[in-house]
Amino acid sequence: MKIGQGIQPTPYESQKSFGTFLKDAIQEVNVKQIESDKMTQKLILGEDVDLHNVMITAQKASIALNATMEVRNKVIEAYQEIIRMPV
């Protein structure tokens, strides 16, 4: 091991870490969607919310969902490439 190099994680640790990252990211997207739904519901019911805040919250949720879908698509593409590799 070279000086300044950290200990390399095992494949299991890397997989677990990546899984935790994905779980947290999906949970964050879910929270944004729920927040957007609540703001929209408040607007519909005539509660004291600004339209621009409702629109900003909806856009944040939409962008988070779209980014998550793109990451999912790239992961699937990478997996399919790995499967196609000759052994």
| Mean pLDDT of the region 21-40 | 94
pLDDT tens column, 31-78: 999 999 999 999 999 999 999 999 999 999 999 999 999 998 999 999
Name the more confident of 3 and 26.
26
Host H or E run for residue 55? helix 51-84
Q: Which of 11, 54, 14, 19 is nearest to 36 (CA)?
A: 54
Does the global pTM surpass 0.85? no
